[in-house]
Amino acid sequence: MTLGRLLRGLCVLFLAVMFMVAGCTVTAAWFVWRGLSRMQIVVEPAAVKEAMNYWVTETLQKGDRESKIQVIEYLGQAGPAVKDFVPLLTGLIEDDDEDAAVRAAAENALKKIDQHQEL
């Protein structure tokens, strides 16, 4: 057997293996795509509310000054929907160790929440 025939045979074998690998990859990708396209992800509103409540509470209790102010401003814009957070906002106002800007933002948010409730 000459070296040329051996190399030609190896090239043919290599190409055959590459086509098999490519075919397997395409087939696997198709099965993954088909499976993912059939999945239905359901997001429960209660779970979203619970996660948001946790995030807001953690931020107001343990967050830095800027984070607290940002969350407080969002609460003020939300109106009566955030009435569950009124005790936390009141607690921030009454906490003498809390930053003055945070306390002022909490007072402003409570006023906005009360205004929304009156409308």
Concatenated DSSP letters for 77-103? HHGGGGGGGHHHHHHHHH-TTS-HHHH
pLDDT (tens digit per residue) in 85-98: 999 999 999 999 99
pLDDT (tens digit per residue) in 64-111: 999 999 999 999 998 888 889 999 999 999 999 999 999 999 999 999
How far apart (Å, rounded) are the C-alpha atoms in residues 94 and 35?
54
| Whole-number percent of the chain with pLDDT over 90 | 43
pLDDT score at 116? 54
Q: What is the CATH number of domain 45-118?
A: 1.25.10
Six token digits for residue 89: 């906002």
How far apart (Å, rounded) are the C-alpha atoms in residues 35 and 45?
25
pLDDT (tens digit per residue) in 16-47: 888 787 777 888 888 888 877 777 777 788 88
How far apart (Å, rounded) are the C-alpha atoms in residues 77 and 113?
8
Q: Are 92 and 56 in contact (CB under 8 A)?
A: no
